[in-house]
Copies of this chain bind each other. A is one copy, B any other.
């Protein structure tokens, strides 16, 4: 049995003791922690207290718990997917965007019609409620099992101007870029990044473990005259992905980021 000290609630003291044991290396990464019963004996507390402490450590992302097996120290969350943000000058380099070149589609893409929300209307410079084509994909990296949700939103105006697009709205992003370029547009992109906790459906679709945020990218592809052409969204578990951007001090397009 191990004595416990001061600060705060009992379960927090237990959580702090376990956390310290993990960080000090007493419990190695991927190793099995003592069972709830053992922790009860070790710290002389009831089972709800132990479970409360464990819940706190789960919320911090320090441990993983598996029903029927036990609690495991989570190993370092090493990102395996690197999403590049700055492209080269050749058209082929566009494929690197979002790193989707090597990915497979876990399901058939689903296409639909929808309407612009306030946020999407602002990004695409549309009226609210304006009609859009939509296409959702579930992407998989077969090597690592990493999953990502990808969505393409195409305003009717863009589809009208680029007939190829209207015929096949489920086209892959890289192909979409090529179509837009073929239609005479000189492309650039405006990308915003946010992180948040996943909604329940995202948790299941992306197979996310506990306490794992999602990275949410919104990318607007703009063409000649800085016209917003399409909007893409990518959602991916932050335990597997990191973003990489190159920033150079060269000339900057005139369009503002936000009003």
Q: Are B246 and A252 in contact (CB under 8 A)?
A: yes
Q: Are A245 and B87 in contact (CB under 8 A)?
A: no
> Which B residues are in CB contact (< 8 Å) with A55?
55
Partner of A87, one of B199, B213, B252: B252
> Which B residues are in CB contact (< 8 Å) with A93?
249, 252
Partner of A249, one of B61, B88, B193, B251: B88
Q: Are B191 and A245 in contact (CB under 8 A)?
A: yes
Among residues 240 to 255 in chain A, which have CB atoms less than 8 Å away from a CB atom of chain B? 242-253
> Which B residues are in CB contact (< 8 Å) with A197?
59-61, 211-213
Q: Are B188 and A213 in contact (CB under 8 A)?
A: no
Number of interface residues of A (CB under 8 A): 52
Partner of A238, one of B59, B189, B196, B253: B196
Measured CA separation A246–B197 after assembly (Å): 25
User: A89 at the A/B interface (Cβ < 8 Å)?
Assistant: yes
> Which B residues are in CB contact (< 8 Å) with A196?
61, 77, 213, 238-239
User: A68 at the A/B interface (Cβ < 8 Å)?
Assistant: no
Digitize A107-140: 1 where CB-to-B-CB distance is under 8 Å, 0 elsewhere: 0000000000000000000000000000000000
Q: Are B199 and A249 in contact (CB under 8 A)?
A: no
Q: Are A193 and B243 in contact (CB under 8 A)?
A: yes
Assess A257 versus B59: contact at CB under 8 Å? Given A245-B245, A252-B87.
Answer: no
Q: Are A251 and B213 in contact (CB under 8 A)?
A: no
> Which B residues are in CB contact (< 8 Å) with A248?
87, 188-189, 250, 253
Digitize A157-198: 1 where CB-to-B-CB distance is under 8 Å, 0 elsewhere: 000000000000000000000000000000111111111111
Partner of A257, one of B19, B77, B84, B215: B84
Question: Which residue on B lies nearest to A77, using beta carbons?
Answer: B196
Assess A245 versus B193: contact at CB under 8 Å? Given A200-B60, A213-B213.
Answer: yes
Q: Are B257 and A82 in contact (CB under 8 A)?
A: yes
User: A85 at the A/B interface (Cβ < 8 Å)?
Assistant: yes
User: A151 at the A/B interface (Cβ < 8 Å)?
Assistant: no
Assess A244 versus B191: contact at CB under 8 Å? Given A82-B258, A84-B257.
Answer: yes
Q: Please provide the 4 A-B residue pairs with the shortest distance between their CB atoms, ordered closest to farther.
A: A195-B195, A213-B213, A195-B238, A189-B247
